[in-house]
Amino acid sequence: MTEFKYTVKETDRELSIKELLSRNFGFSGRFMTKLKQNRLIFLNGENMPGWVTPEPGDVITVTTPDETSDFPPEDIPVSVVYEDNDLLVINKQPGVVVHPTKGKPYHTMANGIMKKMLDEGESYKIRFVNRLDMNTSGLLIVAKNSHAQDNLTKQMKSDHIQKKYKAIVDGVIAEDSGTIDLPLGRPDPDEVERWVLPVEDGGYPSVTHYRVLERYPAHTLVELQLETGRTHQIRVHLSYCGHPIIGDHLYCNGDPFEYRRIHGDPRPPLDGTKGPRMETNPEIVSPYIDRQALHAFSLTFTHPVTGEILHLEAPLPEDMEKAIEKIR
């Protein structure tokens, strides 16, 4: 539970409690409604509706409502990078889905975080601010209350959250840095894959900046910064440019739709029925690593309550370190 406190100033005359909370803490209308419903707004220690106009020197106090999630707790490791009353930032391991879905209802990070929360005697609703693919490792933000979620979502939409990744790709990238500006879309609505698609055909503007960190005989370690955050954006952009991420079973052959047309598709079916996928388990497509070598290593954003600039990093995971040793 987080407490917000504000002392009314002389210049605040004629402003209501609701207006002062919105101005000073950036509370959304939805969050204000929750505060009202739960009677969590106090003026000088006394419960008070938001329309009341306080006097200079009065103290407004707000506490966030008690909430919890109902995911079944599971013993899944949770590597904490940062935590306080409003936020939890973890370093997600590869091979674990972030949030339960119809096809993956259990064994997710949400289940692991639920166990952590119960073990530590905490109670909050698990709200993921960003997402990572199952086989992408790295930093994941969880908001512990709706105010933190609203604030961080606004930062995300206005590109005020800086996200950086590291990837090992096939081939040697000649340029030290550059920008990939290509719209992405879903050519086949029945398939999960994305590809470069003109805006007029349903593609969305997508921009990825890259910087070479290290070159090897036949591979490159790159740093990537997202300007937009489309599904599979980094994976598709790099593959389209001829440098697919090693271990990426979806995009290792370039355009997955063209590859399927020419060769059929040896990947396992998405739901057991669709597509010309013929074999059962050839998802390991690299001799160096058994998943896409992509890691979300850096996040920079403004704390939704304190206003502090947070810069968080997660080290390269062991499987990517070992892949680099083999590649060298």
Express as a percent the part of the chain with pLDDT over 70: 94
Domain boundaries in the chain?
3-63, 165-294
Catalytic position from the list 12, 84, 119, 133: 133
pLDDT at 67: 80
pLDDT at 236: 97
Contacts of 46 (CB under 8 A, 6+ apart): none
d(CA 249, CA 290): 9
Per-residue DSSP letter, 216:
-
Looking only at the bridges linking them, the beta strands covering 3-7 and 59-63 are antiparallel
pLDDT at 19: 87
Higher model confidence: residue 182 or residue 61?
182
Class assignment of domain 3-63? alpha beta
Asked if residue 109 lies in contact with residue 98, where contact means CB atoms within 8 angstroms, the answer is: yes
What's the pLDDT tens digit per position in 7-31? 899 888 888 888 888 887 877 777 7
pLDDT at 265: 64
pLDDT at 17: 86
Give catalytic status of residue 190 as yes or no: no
Answer whether residue 66 shows pLDDT above 80: no
pTM above 0.95, yes or no: no
pLDDT at 41: 87
d(CA 328, CA 245): 16
Q: How many other C-beta atoms are found inside a 10 Å radius of the C-beta of residue 266?
A: 17
Q: Which of 48-57, 166-175, 235-244, 285-294 has the lowest mean pLDDT?
A: 48-57
Answer whether residue 305 shows pLDDT above 90: no
Domain 165-294 has CATH 3.30.43.10: no
Answer whether residue 174 shows pLDDT above 50: yes
Sequence letter at residue 163: K
* pLDDT (mean) for 78-87: 96
pLDDT at 267: 56
DSSP states along 257-300? HHHHHHH-B-SPPSSSSSSSB--S------SS-SS--EEEEEEE
pLDDT at 320: 98
Sequence letter at residue 265: D
Q: Report the mean per-residue pLDDT for the chain.
A: 89
What's the pLDDT tens digit per position in 226-278? 988 899 999 999 999 999 999 998 899 888 888 877 877 655 554 444 444 44
pLDDT at 27: 78
Q: Which long-range contacts (CB under 8 A, 24 or more apart) does 39-42 make?
A: 40/64, 40/65, 41/17
pLDDT at 1: 64
Higher model confidence: residue 3 or residue 138?
138
pLDDT at 279: 43
What's the pLDDT tens digit per position in 96-133? 999 988 777 889 999 999 999 999 999 899 999 999 99
